[in-house]
Structure 1
């Protein structure tokens, strides 16, 4: 079985989400999120493993798709956990229109290519 960094191999994604199937705030795969200047190592240590992996990966601005691929988590679970971190104010959403440059689009394309 392939080991994923964000999940223990014996834990199913729906168990990590505590049976929840969707987030109230729909996040698109190209939505950019980051911790901004709020990264807190003590908070990271207190999070569940999958949420901790997402939180640490979001130290640099990334799309939802990049976080999903980089953490080895299913996209639905990634959206749900990001929604939880957004509710507590630990992550912030960035307007993709203000950061549309060639380097960002290339990173997004590369991240999507890794998903396929």
Structure 2
């Protein structure tokens, strides 16, 4: 006997049958978003309140906007929706193109201070 997973139930899941809609149908058969690939720890933030989302949006897009009312990492969105990260990336690309969400990527290694600088700071702090 299957138990219901915790959290909100999705329109595309059936308790007995499992997924009713395959992930590639949610993305229209696309495997990459129009935007660049988003990092797993990139923060997503909706640009407008969740209730202001376009009613013409598909339900999975509306749910992403609802979940992104506060900054939330991409990996957490995928876990909350119980969808593959690749699917969520494609859906977020759609929302980004419509201007409904903003994606804030983490700084790359090139923008981080050099190890020698960090070691000097730590040494200076220890000397205090």
Provide TM-score, normalisation by structure 2.
0.65
Structure exhibiting the larger radius of gyration computed from Cα positions: 2
Query: How many residue pairs align between the two structures?
Result: 96
Give the whole-Å Cα distance in 1 for the aligned partners of 2:88 and 2:10: 10
1:35/1:42 CA distance change after superposition, 3 Å: closer
Give the whole-Å Cα distance in 2 for the aligned partners of 1:95 and 1:16: 24
In angstroms, what is the RMSD of aligned CA positions? Answer: 2.2
Q: Which runs of 4 or more aligned residues in structure 1 lie more than 6 Å from their structure 2 counterparts after TM superposition?
A: 1-4
Q: Choose the corresponding residue for 1:28, options 35, 39, 47.
A: 39
Displacement of 1:54 in angstroms is 0.9
Query: Which is richer in helix?
Result: 1
Gaps of 5+ in 1: 98-116
1:67 aligns with 2:71: no
- Secondary structure of the corresponding residue to residue 46 of structure 1: coil
Provide TM-score, normalisation by structure 1.
0.71
Give the whole-Å Cα distance in 2 for the aligned partners of 1:56 and 1:77: 17
- Secondary structure of the corresponding residue to residue 83 of structure 2: coil
Give the whole-Å Cα distance in 2 for the aligned partners of 1:71 and 1:61: 16
Q: Choose the corresponding residue for 1:96, options 99, 102, 106.
A: 106
Displacement of 1:5 in angstroms is 3.8
Give the whole-Å Cα distance in 1 for the aligned partners of 2:38 and 2:52: 26
